[in-house]
Each structure stands twice: as C-alpha cells, then as structure tokens.
Chains A and B, each alone.
Chain A
Amino acid sequence: MRKYLFLIKTAWQRQLVYRATVYGYRLGNIFDVLFQVTIWTAVYKSTSVVYGYNYNEMITYVMIGWLINFMTANYGIEDVVSRNIQNGELNVYLTRPLSYLRSIITMSIGRTSIALISGVALQLLFIFIFQNHMVAQTDLSIILVIFIIVILGYFVRLLLSILFGLIAFWATDVSGLNSFFATFIRLLSGGYAPLSLLPAMLYKLSLFFPFAYIVFFPTQLYLGKLDLMDGIKGVGVELLWLVLLYVIIKIVWNKGLKKYEGVGI
C-alpha cells in the first residue's frame, strides 16, 4: 500500500511543478463553458424547448455536465501509456516489483488531482454564478447514485484511456488515434451537448457503449429525466463495463508484451 501511496505523492508533486500549465488549461475551459452557455442563451431567445430541454435544464446540463467532465477526466493517460511503450520507459516499470497497470491507475489519481481540484473549483464558481438559471436536485438518494456513477465513470474513462494507450505496442505513432478517441469519447459521453440531440438511431446506439454513462447519464439523473431505478441500472452497466474493460486490457497487455521490443532502452 505504501508504495502506491508513494506513486500518488510523486505524481502530485510533479503536477505541482507544472501548475501554471494546469491553470492555463482552466482558463481555456472558461471559453468552452462560456461558448456553450452563450449559444444556448441565443437559441432560447426564439424557442422555449429544444429536444425536451427548457432553458434552465439546458444551462443545468452544461454546468453539471462540465462538473462531471472535470471529475472524470484523466488528462491524456493514453499519451502516458503510449509514450512509456514507444520510448522504452516501460522497461523501468517491468523491472519494478509493481504491476504496471496498477501503477498507472494509482499514478493517474495523483496526476489528475490538481487538475481535478482546479476544474471542480472553476465549475463550482460557474454554478454559483448561474444558480438562478439552474434546476436543483434535492433527492439525497439520487445524489448518492450520481456520486457513485461519477466515481465509476472516472475508472471507465481511465481504463478506456489505458486500452487506447496500449495500441502503441502495435503502432509507431498513436497521437492521431488518441485525438480521434478523445473526440469520440467527448461526443458520445454527451460532453459537447445532450445525446438526445443526436439522430434517434445514433442516440439509442450510444446507450450500449460505456461513454454515455460518463457525463450524459448522471446529468439526466440530476435533471430528474431518469429515476432512481434507472440510476441503479446505470451503476450495474458501469460495473459490467469496468469488468469487461479490465479483462480486455489484461488480454491486450499480455499480447502486447510479447510484441514489445523495448525500443529506446
């Protein structure tokens, strides 16, 4: 346990060194949030309901959606994994008395903590500013289920990132793939806009994948568009995906290690 705590501490210290970068990214996020609020405000000047959302619900979707996005983000763990493989840094991990996968999962907790704190703080400030235009969820059992879904969502996203990073065992450059997956996950998780805006077929299809349970699903729960039973089912779906992803990662990892040449050693 101590060695994993040490990994978290080291990653945390490293992030403290690069804190200006984190704050720079946060400043950029302000434009993103501002853009979404402004565009929806302009749209609702000439209509009262868009695909089942009134203005307050849409603003709530943006605010809570971004909050959950910050809470589940791992800020490019796929790049860390692919870099470790491509630069031969994996050799160091392989000689340590620690599992690489567990090390990466543990390290990501320390690595994301400063970004998470600053992101959540920024978003809480936005929520405070826009509170009069937001829907409030007061059911404690729903809030508890949302909290569980968000924690599981963090690990679903993390395992997906690790899986994408492991592609580096077979490819010389994965930055394009990672960029594609980042866009794909953000879109299908509801990070750009509610998934209900998608064509019906695509919307139904998106619910079969784990992405929708990262942002869209908990936000719908918060808005009261899904009930407690749906929330519990969502927890079950996320747990299933976590197990499935872990098994896939283990298989890919074992196959990848046979291919690994330790380039850069």
Chain B
Amino acid sequence: MKKYLIIWKTLTGLATSSYLTNRVDSISYFMGKLIRLSFFLLMIIVIFNKTSDLVGYGKYEVIFFFSTFNLMDVLAQAFFRGIYFFGNDIKNGNFDFILTKPINALFYSLSRLTDILDFIFLAPIIGLLIYSISKINISFTFINYASYFTMIVFGLLIIMALHIITAAINIIAIESEAAIWLYRDSMTIGRFPPEIFPGLIQIIFTVAMPIIIIVSFPAKAFLGILSLRAALFAILYSVLFFALSLLIWKKSLKHYSSASS
C-alpha cells in the first residue's frame, strides 16, 4: 500500500511539473472548463427566470444536483485521467512496457496521470455546493452529510469500475477509444435531477449505465429523499459492479495482442 502511495505521489508530482511547464495550455484548459460550468449555471438561472420549479425541485436544489454532477465528473477525471491514454498504449503496443513494470498494471494505467487542474477546479465546485446548500431551506444534520459522503464513495467505486471496463474494451477491441467518451457523454444525463427523464430512461441509467446512482443518489441522499432501500441497493450494486469490472479486466488481459510492438 505504501509503495503505491509513493508511486502515486511521484506520478502526481511529474504531472504537476508538466502542467506548470505548459502554463498557457493549462490555464486554457481550466478556462474551458470554467466557461462550460458557467454556461450551464447560467442556463439553470435562465430556466428559473421562467419557471418556479423543475420536476418538483427548486432552483438551488437543481444547482445542488448540477454541482454534485460536476463534483463526481471532476473527481473521476482528477484520479483516473490516465485511462484516456490507454487506447493509444494498446494501439502502439506500449502496454508491454507497463506489463513489465513491477507494479499492478491496472493501477498504473488508471493513475499514471493525476489531473492537478481538476483538483484546482474542485474549488469553484465546492464553493457552488456550499452556496446551494446555504440557500436550500432545510436544516441539514450530520446524517445528511454522512449519507452524501457515503453515496459519493460508492459512486466513485462505480466510476472506477466504468473506467476499468473501458480499458478492458480497449484491450479486446483495440480500436475503441470512443468507449471512454461514451461514458463521458452519458454522464451528461446526470446534470439535472433524474425525474426529468421518462421512467424507462431512469431505469436504464440506474441499472444498465448507472449514472443516476453515481450522481443523483448522493444528491438525493443529502436532501433526505433517498430511501434506505435505494441506498442499500446502490451500495450492493457498486460493490458487485466493481467486482465484475475486475473480472472483465482479467479476462481482457488474455486477449492482449501486443499490437505494433
């Protein structure tokens, strides 16, 4: 465990140096994210200029859902950015070098690039979370915060599993860099409360592609509207989904063809 922590710290240090070397590029990347966040926030404000509620949620509750979506999205990118380079490693046969390193190949592939800019981007998101919480007219207790963090942890477990599955798809199909972008595109579903979608879509994005568990369940848990049954289902689902992703990863390794190496 200590060895992996040292490796992660070293990789993060190297990534930070790289970002500091390309300062203009890094600032541009950060600004792009900030513009996108600001635009969608503006869109929520514009919507609430015309209506008092959205599928039963008030303005600040919707902003809270939106902030939670951004929190999960940014945490995933901060920790698992390495997987975005995995497709190229497979195509070029560079995965050979990772397999020969005396560390877990999956750990290295997931965390080889810690996105320090995303860590910085957490600041405006957390600010937005605190602001929306302060504006929601409910007195929150320890239970609300504890259930929020619990659901976030299990949501992150599902996100990690999804990243592992996309890596496995890359190994099996070689030409499939779209897999990770498919996950990113599907995450957009979580920007707003899930009730805006018809029932069938909600079921699909809870069970088949669990974006609602990842994003909406933590927000609902915090607002005190997530049933205990749903929370237990999410915990069990995330553990099983993670175990399944590891199985798929192990199977996929047997398909690795070392192309181009």
A176 pairs with B54, CB closer than 8 A: no
Residues of A within 8 A of B131 (CB): none
Residues of B within 8 A of A49 (CB): 50
A172 pairs with B22, CB closer than 8 A: yes
B175 pairs with A20, CB closer than 8 A: yes
Q: How distant is the Cα of A265 from the Cα of B86 in the complex, in angstroms?
A: 25
> A-B contact count, CB below 8 Å?
122
The verdict on B182 contacting chain A, using a C-beta distance below 8 Å, is: yes
The verdict on A38 contacting chain B, using a C-beta distance below 8 Å, is: yes
Give per-residue flags for B9-48: 1 if the beta carbon is below 8 A from chain A beta carbons, else 0.
0000000001001101111111111011001101100110
Residues of B within 8 A of A42 (CB): 54-55, 192, 196
Residues of B within 8 A of A35 (CB): 188-189, 191
The closest CB in chain A to the CB of B43 belongs to A193
A177 pairs with B178, CB closer than 8 A: no
Q: How distant is the Cα of A75 from the Cα of B154 in the complex, in angstroms?
A: 35
Partner of A176 from the list B32, B35, B40 (CB cut-off 8 Å) is: B32
Q: How distant is the Cα of A8 from the Cα of B255 in the complex, in angstroms?
A: 34
Partner of B32 from the list A38, A46, A184 (CB cut-off 8 Å) is: A184
B210 to chain A, nearest CB (A): 14
B175 pairs with A18, CB closer than 8 A: yes
Give per-residue flags for B114-150: 1 if the beta carbon is below 8 A from chain A beta carbons, else 0.
0000000000000000000000000000000000000
B185 pairs with A21, CB closer than 8 A: no
Residues of A within 8 A of B28 (CB): 176-177, 179-180
Residues of A within 8 A of B30 (CB): 176
B177 pairs with A28, CB closer than 8 A: no
The verdict on A182 contacting chain B, using a C-beta distance below 8 Å, is: yes
B189 pairs with A50, CB closer than 8 A: no
The verdict on B52 contacting chain A, using a C-beta distance below 8 Å, is: yes
Residues of A within 8 A of B21 (CB): 172
The verdict on A24 contacting chain B, using a C-beta distance below 8 Å, is: yes
Q: A28-B185, A42-B196, A171-B24 are in contact. Are A51 and B175 (CB under 8 A)?
A: no
The closest CB in chain A to the CB of B179 belongs to A24
A20 pairs with B46, CB closer than 8 A: no
The verdict on A10 contacting chain B, using a C-beta distance below 8 Å, is: no
How many A residues are at the interface, by size bracket?
35 or more
Please give the residue numbers on chain A whose beta carbons come within 8 Å of chain B beta carbons, in ascending order.
17-18, 20-25, 27-29, 31-32, 34-35, 38-39, 41-43, 45-47, 49-51, 171-177, 179-184, 187, 192-193, 197-198
Q: A28-B181, A182-B32 are in contact. Are A38 and B50 (CB under 8 A)?
A: no
A179 pairs with B175, CB closer than 8 A: no
B51 pairs with A47, CB closer than 8 A: yes
The verdict on B251 contacting chain A, using a C-beta distance below 8 Å, is: no
Residues of A within 8 A of B182 (CB): 24-25, 27-28
A132 to chain B, nearest CB (A): 17
A176 pairs with B26, CB closer than 8 A: yes
Q: How distant is the Cα of A194 from the Cα of B21 in the complex, in angstroms?
A: 38
23 sampled A-B residue pairs with Cβ under 8 A: A23-B178, A24-B177, A25-B178, A25-B182, A28-B178, A28-B186, A43-B47, A43-B51, A43-B54, A46-B51, A46-B52, A47-B51, A171-B22, A173-B18, A176-B24, A176-B26, A176-B29, A179-B32, A182-B32, A184-B35, A187-B35, A197-B42, A197-B46
B29 pairs with A180, CB closer than 8 A: yes
Q: How distant is the Cα of A198 from the Cα of B40 in the complex, in angstroms?
A: 11
- What are the nearest 8 A-B pairs in CB distance? A24-B178, A176-B29, A28-B185, A180-B32, A176-B25, A180-B28, A42-B196, A46-B51
Q: How distant is the Cα of A173 from the Cα of B113 in the complex, in angstroms?
A: 15
Q: What would 9 more interface pairs be, CB under 8 Å, given A51-B46, A172-B21, A176-B26? A: A20-B176, A28-B181, A38-B197, A42-B192, A171-B22, A172-B25, A175-B25, A176-B24, A197-B42
The verdict on B184 contacting chain A, using a C-beta distance below 8 Å, is: yes
Partner of A31 from the list B32, B173, B188 (CB cut-off 8 Å) is: B188
Partner of B25 from the list A24, A173, A184, A198 (CB cut-off 8 Å) is: A173
B40 to chain A, nearest CB (A): 8
